[in-house]
Amino acid sequence: MEKRRLFSEIVTKGRFPEDLLNKIDSSESELSIDINNECNLHCKHCYWGITKLHKEPLSLDEIKQLIDRAIDSGTKLFAFAGREPFLTDRIIHVLRYIKEKKKDNNIKYGVVSNGTRVSGYVDALKELDLDYIDISIDGTREIHDKIRRDGAYDAATGALKQIINGNVVRKVFVSMCYNKLNSATFFEAIDDLAEKGVTNFCILPYIHSERGSPELKITFDDFLSFLRQLEHYSPKKPVEIMIDLEWYMIPSVKMMLDEGVMNLERVKEDAAGNLYTKIENANCKIYVKFGFVDLNRFVVTADGYFGNIHMKSNNDYYLTASGNVREKDILEMIPKTINASVHLFNRSLQKMNKEITITSLS
């Protein structure tokens, strides 16, 4: 798929080129599977809208069948999530199963977690050949615990230390949500985590959610100011920072172009198919990834509904889903999901009162 052209058309012309939709390669798709709908935290910025499942949760056997079907349909990257996947040992059974599948298939897989329950599973994870683990930490101890729960920071960073020191997985990410509460101490938090051995950070700006706390939300101007600060950030230890921009951040990309923070000529595609640009910084590697052009990323909820990842932000997720994996084949649901993503562009950008207008697939 011509991602650079797609990016350019969306950002500069405000339209979604329909001819490119037929070129999306579903044989290189990514799938996030929620293995439960429970969490031990109550984070202020959580976008999760599914407070109650519409159907019974998928059984372990059904998850295994889903993995098989996803591999057959061309999924290359799996993310196992939930509200918190390490609440029970079900995640270990799932990982053992996909590890066996990895022997004969060119796939990668990892887990997304808040980190507070990971320590009890470190020994088991050593045997499971994970490509990555992604643990969420949203600031210094004081800020993180204020957002998530007292004691959450120490639990998560304790697990990180075990994983890093034990070489448990191939790559460790810390995902950080940039927001009003942590903005003043954000770089301090990165330096603290780098001292603990973390080298890879994924930054998500907290702008779009309607469900989270208003005290956390930033503006597009706040985000641009953050990018300017990044240009001059000098970490105490070597780190790599990736800022992931989803559909709700498209207006900020136009602002980045207008303000000279980036230019189209420097937008590149890496070997994994990620579209990105670099933020100039002599002290560390900083990338802005344009995730909104990746329309081949899908999610399955704990009760089997298939769609784009943004459908999970609503209680009526099952109405916006493309179907349920118990009833429909994945390949049958992919085109409908891509179309739903295009409509999401339309509605969201119009709601934000921006000049960009995107034409969805008819």
Residue ranges of domains in the chain: 27-334
pLDDT for the residue numbered 346: 64
* pLDDT score for 359: 37
Note the pLDDT of residue 38: 93
Look at residue 271 in the predicted model and tell me its pLDDT.
Answer: 81
- d(CA 288, CA 274) in angstroms, rounded, equals 10
Provide, for the chain, the percentages of residues in helix, strand and coil under a 3-state DSSP scheme, each rounded to the nearest 5.
Answer: 45, 20, 40
Other beta carbons within 10 angstroms of residue 151's beta carbon come to 11
First to last CA, the chain: 19
Q: What is the pLDDT of residue 360?
A: 36
> Would you write out the chain's pLDDT as a tens digit for each of its 362 residues?
578 888 887 777 766 766 766 666 666 789 999 999 999 998 988 877 667 899 999 999 999 999 999 999 999 999 999 999 999 999 999 999 999 999 899 999 999 999 999 999 999 999 999 999 999 999 999 999 999 999 999 999 999 999 999 999 999 999 999 999 999 999 999 999 999 999 999 999 998 656 667 889 999 899 999 999 999 999 999 999 999 998 778 888 888 888 888 888 889 988 878 899 999 888 899 999 998 888 889 999 999 999 987 788 778 899 989 999 999 999 999 988 988 787 776 665 565 544 444 333 33
What is the fold of 27-334? TIM Barrel (3.20.20)
Tokens linked to 77: 């990257």
Report if pTM > 0.85: yes
**Backbone torsions φ then ψ of 139, nearest 5 degrees:** 145, -160
Per-residue model confidence (pLDDT) at position 356? 42
3-state secondary structure (DSSP) of residue 276: strand
Q: Give the phi and the psi of residue 71 in degrees, each rounded to 5.
A: -60, -45
Q: Which position has the token pair 């029970």?
A: 88
